[in-house]
Structure 1
Amino acid sequence: MTTALPAPGTYLVDPAGSTVRFTTTHLWGLGTVRGSLAVTGGRITVAADRVEAVGTVAAASFDTGNGARDGAVRSARYLDAEAHPEITLRAAGPPTGPVPGELTVRGRTAPVELAVVDVQPDGDVLVVRLTTTVDRYAHGLTAQKGMTGRHLQLELTARATRA
């Protein structure tokens, strides 16, 4: 992990250079599901003793490579991507982890704790990699208990350029 902190200022997240990947289980924990969500935007503000960030992903971009599953998760039964098109993550805390945050899914906000895995400042560009565990029940997503994993392991990589 790079420990050098980026220069203070505001950095705008580049959706094309940023990713959200997840892993969860299904079939009572016997199978593993991997997938991704598309980052749509975000901002990272760096101060000497504090970092604040907000990022959004498109709920309709949920993708595991299984069309039937992906359609079911995007539907009103789970993410309700039509009524709630954005998933939002907000975090603020010390420049090294863990960083407390809030994840809003389907209009419901719940706390998360982000582990800072890597920070790579390079001039006006900043790449940050974070991980967290999300409890879908905290967002009211309780359909198919047992068949669908309750927890998702998320890895977020944000590439941002100084504004």
Structure 2
Amino acid sequence: MTPQLGRYKIDSGSITFGTRHLFGLAPVRGTFAIRSGTVDVAEPIADSRVEVEIDAGSCHTGNDRRDDSVRSARLLDTDRFPVMTFRANGSLEGTLTVRDVTWPVALTVERTEVGPGSFTVVATTRVDRTEFGVTAYRGLAARHLDVRVEVTCLRS
């Protein structure tokens, strides 16, 4: 089911990720906060647009020391690059920008719920951190992150 045509603002959402550390032995789960975002639903749906800003410094894994390390210049360098962005067309094939490096990313929609004046989408993807120049801790930190995005959008 497709939402009504028009502009929607991301009202609430979460970005969760899973990866591994300690040479692949230990799982790590974490979150990032969405700063803002819009979805323009168009006809045909392939002409729709998505723009999302993600707070790079909001990384939370439940381990303050690890979170500080992720925010450091060796990894996300959030002092210099405080925002990650995702831009896509209606197929949710778009680009993700991390640390001023932009790379193609395709989201797979797992679930969509459409209501009057709103919709919720759950989508997933796998991100290779090395494509964005985040290369520190090779071997110790996993190369890939499995990402799940859930957003609720309200018609604006």
TM-score scaled to structure 1, two decimals?
Answer: 0.91
Structure 2 residue aligned with 1:13, among 10, 14, 19? 10
Aligned to 1:86: 83
Tell me, in whole angstroms, the C-alpha distance in 2 between the residues paired with 1:119 and 1:55: 18
Q: Which whole-Å CA distance do the structure 2 matches of 1:75 and 1:154 have between them?
A: 21
Higher strand residue share: 2
Mapped partners of 1:119, 1:147: distance in 2: 36
Corresponding residue for residue 129 of structure 1: 122
TM superposition shift of 1:52:
1.3
CA distance in 1 between partners of 2:141 and 2:29 (Å) = 13
Can you give the 5+ residue segments of structure 2 that lack an aligned partner in the other structure? none
1:26 pairs with 2:21: yes
Deviation of the 1:119 alpha carbon: 1.3
What count of residue pairs does the alignment treat as equivalent? 154
Tell me, what secondary structure is at the counterpart of 1:24? strand
1:48 aligns with 2:15: no
> Counterpart of 1:71?
68
Identity %: 39
Q: State the Cα RMSD in Å.
A: 0.9
Deviations, residues 108-148 of structure 1 (Å, cap 9, x unaligned) = 10111110111111011111111011100000000010100
TM, length-normalised to structure 2: 0.95
Q: Is the 8 A contact 2:7 2:155 kept in 1?
A: yes
Equivalence for 1:108: 101
